[in-house]
Amino acid sequence: MKVLVPVKRVVDYNVKVRVKSDGSGVDIANVKMSMNPFDEIAVEEAVRLKEKGVATEVIAVSCGVQQCQETLRTAMAIGADRAILVQTDEELQPLAVAKLLKALVDKEQPGLVILGKQAIDDDCNQTGQMLAALGDLPQATFASKIEVADGKAKVTREVDGGFETVELSLPAVVTADLRLNEPRYVTLPNIMKAKKKQMDVVKPEDLGVDVKPRLKTLKVSEPPKRGAGVKVPDVATLVAKLKNEAKVI
C-alpha cells in the first residue's frame, strides 16, 4: 500500500512574523522556513506504518516554489521513499492544492493520504476535506490515533466532547492532529541519504489543473496590542467592566 503525504513549506513556528508596510501580506524575506509541524507529524505516522509493514512506500508531495525541495528532502530524511514537487510561483490556495493532490492521487493510486489538519501560516484547515470531496474518498479529520488492517483504517479523532472512533474503507484521507505522534529527530546520515532519493518535479499544467487564486486578500494587519490587566475589588466591579468597557456581556 502506498501512502501519500502532502507537506507545506511555511515560516518556522519560532519566527515572529511581521506584516508588510503596505498591508499586502506577511514579510517572508530572509525568514527561516521549515515544514509545517502538522505535516511533519503526518510524515512520521506514514513512516511508522511502513515500519510496521502496513505500507510499502511513502511518497511526500509539496506544491509551491522551487525552495519546497528543501522541505521534501526533510520528509525523505524522516523516512519518505521518494518525493514529488508540483512547482509553481503562483499563490496557492487550499482549493488549488486539493485539485493538484487529487490529480496526483489519480496518478499514484495511494491506499491512504495523510496530511496535517492545517497549516500554521494561513490556518485554513480546508485542504484535506476538499481533497476528500474532490476524490469522493472517506475522510477522518483531527486524528490522534490511526490503525490500518484488512483494507480499513480505524481512526480515533479529537472532537469537542472528547474522542470519536471511526472506521474508513481504504483508500481514504486522514488529517493529523498534534497528539498523533512525536516526530523523530532527523539524523545527519539520514539527511545525506535523502539527497540521493528520487524527486520528481512537475508543473500544474502537466496535471491539467488551473491554480489561479479564487480569493483576493484585501488587507493584512497585526492584531491590536493587548492592554494591561487590572485588579478589581469585587464581582460587581468585574461585571460592570465586562459590560461597559469590554462590552462582552
| pLDDT tens track for 86-121 | 999 999 999 999 999 999 999 999 999 999 999 999
Task: Confirm whether 249 is domain-assigned.
Answer: no
Nearest Cα to 31, choosing from 16, 45, 19? 16
Going by C-alpha positions, the residue among 101, 106, 107 that lies closest to residue 85 is: 101
Q: Scanning the structure block, which residue is given the C-alpha cell 508588510?
A: 20
In a domain? residue 101: yes
Phi-psi sector, 124: left (phi>0), alpha (psi -120 to 50), beta: alpha
* Residue-level pLDDT at 141: 94
Do 170 and 148 touch, CB atoms closer than 8 A? yes
Answer yes or no: is 168 within a domain. Answer: yes
Q: Are 184 and 44 in contact (CB under 8 A)?
A: yes
Nearest CA to 110 out of 84, 144, 71 is that of: 84
Cα radius of gyration rounded to whole Å, the chain: 21
Task: Please check whether residue 40 lies inside any domain of the structure.
Answer: yes
Count of structural domains within the chain: 1
Give, as one character, the DSSP assignment of residue 165: E
Question: Is residue 159, in this structure, part of any structural domain at all?
Answer: yes
Q: Output DSSP code: residue 38.
A: H
* pLDDT tens digits, 72-90: 999 999 999 999 999 999 9
140, part of any domain: yes
Q: Which three cell numbers stand for residue 21?
A: 508596510
What CATH number should be reported for the domain holding residue 124? 3.40.50.620
Which of 27-31, 59-63, 65-69, 238-242 has the least mean pLDDT? 27-31
pLDDT of residue 222: 84
CB 80 within 8 A of CB 108: no
In a domain, 238, yes or no: yes
| Closest residue by Cα to residue 145 from 45, 1, 54, 58 | 45
Q: Which domain holds residue 208?
A: 2-244
Q: Band the pLDDT of 33: cuts 50, 70, 90.
A: very high
Does some domain include residue 190? yes
